[in-house]
Each structure stands twice: as C-alpha cells, then as structure tokens.
Amino acid sequence: MLDRLRQWLSLPGRSSRADHLPVPKAPGDQPLCGCRLIVLDLETTGLSAAKDEVIAIGAVAISENAIDLGDQFDLVLRRPELDISETVLIHGIGPEALTAGHETEDALLHLLEWMNGDPVIAYHSAFDQGFLEKALRKTLSYTRSHAWMDAAEILPAFFSESRDGGASLDDWADRFGLEVSARHNAAADALATAELTLIAMNQAASQGVNTLKEFSDRLKYYRRLKNMHGH
C-alpha cells in the first residue's frame, strides 16, 4: 500500500484529482458475497469530534467474501502541532510519529481514492464517521456522504441469541475465539472488525440475505427493534 501511495503522490495535479474522486455507492443489488466493503478504524486525540482530531487511519477491504490483506490502508498523519498527552498511553502514537507522519491532505485524498466509494463499516461507526467526515470537510472541503454500517449492530442483528448492542469488540472477539493482535491500534482493530464482519456476513447468507441492500435493511430492522425496546 505504501508503494501505491508514493506513486500516487508523485502524480501531478493533486487538486484536480480531488475533483474526480469516486462517487460513494449506495447499498443496492450488489451480491453480498461479491461486493467490496471497507472496514475502518481511527485513532484520535480524544473522544470529541468537535474539538479532537484524527491522527491515524487503519482500514482493510473485504472482497469476494474474504479479507484481502493485500488491500489495506495504514497511515499515521503528520500532525506535530496536536497535543496527544492525554491519549498517548492508549494509542501509543507519540510526538515523533506525528512529526514523521504523512501529510494530512495527501493521506485523505489517497484514502478516498483507495476506498473507491465503497460502503464503510466500523465498530460504533458514529464515532469514526463523525471524525472522518470532519477531517475530510476541514481539509479537502469534501462533503459527499458514504454509506456507513455499524459492526456493533451487524453482529447482534445476525446472531439473534445475543442481541446485545452494548457488547464490546473484545467481547465479540472472545465469543468467536479471535485473537486481536493489538488493541487501540487502528490497523489491528480494523482487521479484528473485518474478521467479525465476515463471520456475520456468512451468517447472513445462511439466513437468505443475498444482497447488500438486504444486509443494510436487516440492520435498519434491528435498529428499529432496539429503539422500540428502549435499549
């Protein structure tokens, strides 16, 4: 992935490339087993999208019903001006890493190109969506909306015996016997989320869910039930 980034950054006309980024795709009749999904995780300077900032992006693609380890995105952004004193012990990204990171504009442009407009999945996706959309808007004046799905809803939606939308990523990983290599590392958390998502996708297929729209609709149905029961 870094080789592709270097090649991309060497191309002329960066601003014109921003005008021709892929258009976000809505869930439709794409076969669930054949579509490409982006599973993403961010590290930030804090929990408030209003005042805190993105400092690292990790993502991996699910393609053809498999995790494609050759199709990943893993970058620390160059943000030496940011104060990470309150969160460095959580994510382990120190001032040196922020000084040596990739320029934010370049990284975000490449992220959008790499995502190719495909739907995005994250665990507690409202957090990542809020931070990423703020960064895109602030840095690139980019305001297009991607389709987002929440892995914290996907799992209980398809494993009805465990309708616990409050379970953590670690709880689900333990349930399915997955080993998370490093927590609060964007790339590792994205990979763990992708593994759990793939388990849920296979469960969905066994329940007759065959398209991305049917998959998305099941999440909407789960959300309505959850709201009805006040959870």
- For residue range 122-166, list pLDDT tens digits in order: 999 999 999 999 999 999 999 999 999 999 999 999 997 765 556
With a CB cutoff of 8 Å and minimum separation 6, the contacts of 137 are: 143
Check residue 183 and give its pLDDT: 72
CB–CB of 9/101 below 8 Å? no
Span 161-186, mean pLDDT? 81
CATH superfamily entry for domain 33-228: Ribonuclease H-like superfamily/Ribonuclease H (3.30.420.10)
Q: How confident is the model at residue 23 (pLDDT cuts 50, 70, 90)?
A: very high
> In the structure encoding, which two tokens stand for residue 125, read together?
């996706």
What residue segments make up the domains of the chain, in order of their start? Answer: 33-228
Q: For residue 148, give the nearest of 34, 42, 2 by alpha carbon.
A: 42
Residue 80: count of CB within 10 angstroms of its CB: 11
CB–CB of 144/24 below 8 Å? yes
Span 3-22, mean pLDDT? 62
Check residue 22 and give its pLDDT: 95
